Amino acid sequence: MELSKLKTVESVDVSGKKVLVRVDFNVPLDEEGNVSDDTRLVAALPTINYLLEKGAKVILMSHLGRPKGKVVEKLRMDGVARRLEELLGKKVKKLNDCVGPAVEAAVAQMLPGEVVLLENLRFHPEEEANDRQFARALASLGDIYVNDAFGTAHRAHASTAGVAEFLPAVAGFLMEKEVKALGQLLVNPPRPFTVVLGGAKVKDKIGVLENLLNKVDRFLFGGGIANTFLRVQGYDLGDSLIDEEHLSFAAEFLKKAQKSGVGVELPEDLVVTSGDNGEVKVVAPGEVPGGWKALDIGPRTAERYAELVRSSKTVFWNGPLGVFEKEEFRRGSEIVAKAIASPGVTSIVGGGDTLALLEKVGVAGKVTHASTGGGASLEFLEGKQLPGVEALMKGTGEEKSGVLGKETVGSR
């Protein structure tokens, strides 16, 4: 993937144009349908505000939840529109569909500087099927297509890949920021380069482990992943979560890492419990009592990991190192999180749970880059091509109206 080919919204003249923007407004709603976490809305503001300042007609589109191709009342975008209005300080007209005559008529009446939010894309099964006619119908609403939804870039859907066949396609500022930050990890990261991986299962991280093995200086493991690697080394971990199906992969990975001179750091102590309301104590990996579970890295491990992180130039982190939702099993992740936020460390964090952890311990705004796309960031680091990003790198194409560049993009 040649990142230099990624054209951005600044490379096109948007003044007076209808700009169709794919955003990631897949946000949590409360019982009243109001947005309970507006992080993704805030992340899209730089692109939206830029377009408004340049006099564009801004048409926003997103999915919300998993309605599976049917209209689900509680997954309508009305609450999103209300919160976006508050953030922008201006009216956001929310439409009741994303395609069709009524939508076309509403868009045709737009004036420069106005904002329209389309209804949930996934109310139509054609969205996830990347149906060509549905993509064409969406594209007909705009003169220019901007993809600012990195969180869905790994999906080949009509709004993330299909639309780009019919319109001049460029990246929004968030998309550009994500691709550059993650791309740096694969190309030439400042060293030492440390990768911190937690979460439940090895299988979820196999692609990242394989692709980064010869690019990093060390891995730090926590959570169920660490348990699996500890089991490979012969430790009995009681009832702790183990990815039994991938023990052979873990064993082979350790051999490859040793051969490549890549460090693999595992917990030297663990926080364990006898049950939901049971006793909690710290033990060495080989001393987990029968029936007990390891739910966090221990204090010695946390301090060692924190020191390794602080001595790094680049750190990527995905997956909490323990069951951080409970205070007694959060301390290890918290210590490492505060180290990642240290000055002089280029820190890139991905994954919803990891970002929630950073928020909880008060360092979310102190990392270099917090990726809004958990699955997309992992697939990017696996070396996979992301359909939503690839679609932006294919030039204008014969079917696209107008010309990329400042010269002209024909208005409909």
**Structure confidence at residue 408 as a pLDDT band (50, 70, 90):** very low
pTM, to two decimals: 0.86
Report pLDDT for 411: 29
Please give the residue that has the higher pLDDT: either 278 or 166. Answer: 166
Identical topology for domains 3-168 and 180-381:
yes
Listing DSSP states for 178-207 in one string gives HHHHHHHHHH---SSEEEEE-SS-GGGGHH
Q: Where are the domains of the chain?
A: 3-168, 180-381
pLDDT greater than 50 at residue 397: no
**Structure confidence at residue 366 as a pLDDT band (50, 70, 90):** very high
Q: Are the CB atoms for 54 and 387 separated by under 8 Å?
A: no
Backbone angles phi, psi at 56, to 5 degrees: -85, 160
Over its C-alpha atoms, the chain yields an Rg (Å, rounded) of 23
Report pLDDT for 394: 77
CATH 1.10.3720.10 fits 3-168, yes or no: no
**Superfamily grouping for domain 180-381:** Phosphoglycerate kinase, N-terminal domain (3.40.50.1260)
Q: Are the CB atoms for 219 and 197 separated by under 8 Å?
A: yes
As given in the structure block, the two tokens for residue 80 are 């999103």
382: left (phi over 0), alpha (psi -120 to 50) or beta: alpha
- What is the largest distance, in Å, between two alpha-carbon atoms of the chain? 71
Q: What is the pLDDT of residues 275-307, one digit of tens each?
A: 766 899 999 999 999 999 999 999 999 999 999
- Residues that are catalytic: 40, 201, 352, 375
